[in-house]
Amino acid sequence: MEVTKLLKSDHQKVKDLFSKAMPKGEVDTGIVKEICSALTLHMEAEEKLVYPEAEQIKASEELAQESYEEHHQAKALASGS
């Protein structure tokens, strides 16, 4: 599967999971864990496949670096650190 299609599919999956996480105002911790897992895999794919390529393009180099930092913070939240 093409990486952009995979990443777009991941985005939709996580959106769908978020809508299921609080069906009646209560948080479903099982779905929250699934969201964290899906986001972690998604971020790893971006970091290995997308951002290195973006860094090679001068115009997107700074954006790639900002994205790495955002992922670092998101991973800390997802792991509970």
> For the chain, which residues make up each domain, given as ranges?
3-79
Q: Token match 């997107």: residue?
A: 60
Q: What integer pLDDT is reported at residue 48 of this predicted model?
A: 92
pTM of the model: 0.72
Alpha-carbon distances, residue 12 vs 3, 19, 54, 62, 69 (angstroms):
14, 11, 23, 26, 23
Instruction: Please tell me the number of Cα atoms within 13 Å of 54 on its side-chain side.
Output: 15
Phi, psi of 22, deg, nearest 5: -135, 65
Q: What integer pLDDT is reported at residue 81 of this predicted model?
A: 58
User: Amino acid letter at 64?
Assistant: A
Q: Output the tens digit of pLDDT for each of the chain's 81 residues.
A: 588 888 889 888 888 888 888 777 777 888 888 888 888 888 999 999 889 988 899 888 888 889 989 988 988 888 775
Q: What integer pLDDT is reported at residue 47 of this predicted model?
A: 92
